[in-house]
Amino acid sequence: MVSRRKRILRFFLRFTKLPSLLPKSQSVVGSNNKQAGRDIVHNYGTLPANIDLSEVFSQIDNQIRMAVGDPVSPTAGGKSVVYSSAKLFSSLVHIGISAEYAYRLVFNIGEYISEEMKLETNSFSTAHIRRSVSNAILHSDALKISRQERRDLANKYARNYGNPSHAIMVAFKGGDVTPLNYEFLEKTFIPDLAERLTGYRGAVVSNRGGDVAFSRGNIDHMSREVLSSVRRMGIYEIRYETLCAISEDLALQLPHPWFVNPSNQLATLKHDLDRAVEHLQNLMPSQQTDLQFWRLANECFNHICSGILVCYSSVIGGGKDAAPNTLRNYTRLAANGERQNLALWNFCEIFELESHLDEICILIDDFHFEVKSTQEAIRRMRDADKLKVMRNLEWILNVLNHIVERKELLKYPASEI
């Protein structure tokens, strides 16, 4: 049977066969020229566009798993976790290492994992990876930076990822503390945030009995955004008041706020109208790639749906396609005659939507069908749907224009933006 050390050695022999992302003639650090517009301080470079990073990372992952298996996480009850070069790469970029150098560290991390395995022969664990990364940052030739910069980055990595059993703590007035984790964010903090910004705690609470405002995906997205923002600060403890202030800025700022209140309603509405009109005008199937067309169509659709919700001071939600999903949920409940089951129906002005549609001879269930079919067509991304999607977007934008004018939210007609 092949020993662990021999498997590791074979692993590194295979590792050297992986492709380099840089041509041999390309410098990593640039010319160090201080002239404006050129290499200011360091030129960290960019990754070539023709490299399939997912394929490269997959090869690295396979080599590591063949050599030492998947790591065991000490915080997951001793269960194995999947090693991911892509996640490591993302973590390194997250702490401020350029994409170029992050790739080089990931590419060479096996050398440092080998050293860790020699020093500690226990089962391969996530602790080995964390120590290996710190050592790579401190010693690898891949980083052409000063010793102090290396120490700063290593310390930043350790603060963010060095001890998974130590959660960031939220400190309350009076001395109580609680871990900043998903359970706290989803069950306590996000509902508190909604209440602070809307005055209505039911804005977030979703009960099986039918009170629906946010989907689980929306709440998960907001929780991840809050947690990620705090982690980037590299701190061990945060005051609850500070957490609230950071999260309120995340929740209210453009381009895609989660909540609407008097402080951001008009600015958000104007932004949504500006972007929706601009994207619709730029939709030109004959002059765009499929990817460009559907990206613009999706952005246009999201801003139109967001604009409609903003008109009624409604919650928008967090995450990809939050605005269309929230609007579809409202119109579905209204079309099904289930208004009494919607928590927000009693708190914001979304109940006015049906009467505003009646004014332009549109039934709420027809409107719901058009919103739903437009979103589904955008997701399918078929050539045959392009003209239909453009017509639908224009039609829904006209509905938004009518609502804006009807509610007199702007001093000029929305169609003139």
Where do the domains of the chain lie?
4-161, 169-252, 265-416
What is the distance between the alpha carbons of residues 78 and 187, in angstroms, rounded to a whole number?
Answer: 27
DSSP class of residue 349? S
Average pLDDT over residues 305-317: 90
**Run of H or E residues at 237:** strand 237-239
Nearest to 274 by CA among 266, 263, 285, 284: 266
Q: What pLDDT digit, counting tens, does each position of 3-50 carry?
A: 554 454 444 434 444 444 433 333 333 333 333 332 222 233 455 555
Answer yes or no: are the C-beta atoms of 309 and 315 closer than 8 Å. Answer: yes
Bridge partners (DSSP) of residue 178 are: 170
Nearest to 95 by CA among 172, 149, 168, 42: 149
Provide the percentage of residues in the chain whose pLDDT is more than 90: 25
Per-residue CA distances from 191 to 61, 198, 228 (Å): 39, 10, 18
What is the distance between the alpha carbons of residues 148 and 205, in angstroms, rounded to a whole number?
Answer: 48
Average pLDDT over residues 282-310: 92
Provide the percentage of residues in the chain whose pLDDT is more than 70: 74
Tokens found for residue 387: 């003209």
How buried is 384 (Cβ within 10 angstroms: 0-12 exposed, 13-18 middle, 19+ buried)? exposed
Average pLDDT over residues 372-398: 93
Backbone angles phi, psi at 178, to 5 degrees: -150, 145
pTM of the entire predicted model: 0.65
The mean predicted confidence, pLDDT, of the chain is 77
Q: What pLDDT digit, counting tens, does each position of 42-61 carry?
A: 233 455 555 677 888 888 88
Between these two residues, 393 and 230, which has the higher pLDDT value? Answer: 393
Nearest to 29 by CA among 40, 16, 15: 40
pLDDT band at 286; cut points 50, 70, 90: confident
Between these two residues, 82 and 226, which has the higher pLDDT value? Answer: 226
Answer yes or no: are the C-beta atoms of 68 and 5 closer than 8 Å. Answer: no
What distance separates the 2 farthest-apart alpha carbons in the chain? 80
